[in-house]
Amino acid sequence: MSNEVDAKTARERAKAIAEQRRAERRNRKRKCVVCGVEESDKTPFHAHPEGIGPACKDEVACLTRKNAGGR
């Protein structure tokens, strides 16, 4: 039955697309909700304790950056 094959192919394709989107989201740079720096090896993130989003793991460096940034 070609219909079954088509349905399976469509399902597989949808799964592949969903996976690709997930991978893209993972690769996209996150920004710290406090100081706005991009996540990198130098500035690893963790979940902000107040639950407002991703923030620098190094809070001291983060606040220093925030204060230096002014805006």
DSSP E strands in the chain: the ranges are 45-47, 54-56
- Residue type, position 42, single letter: K
Q: Which of 28, 31, 34, 40 binds Zn ion (CB under 5 A)?
A: 34
Report which DSSP code applies to 70. Answer: -
Asked if residue 45 binds Zn ion (CB under 5 A), the reply is no
Q: How far apart are CB 3 and Zn ion at their closest, in Å?
A: 53
Q: How far apart are CB 5 and Zn ion at their closest, in Å?
A: 51
Cβ atoms of 40 and 31 closer than 8 Å: no
Q: Which of 20, 39, 44, 56 binds Zn ion (CB under 5 A)?
A: 56
Bridge partners, 46 (sequence order): 55
Q: Which residues bind Zn ion (CB under 5 A)?
A: 32, 34-35, 56, 62
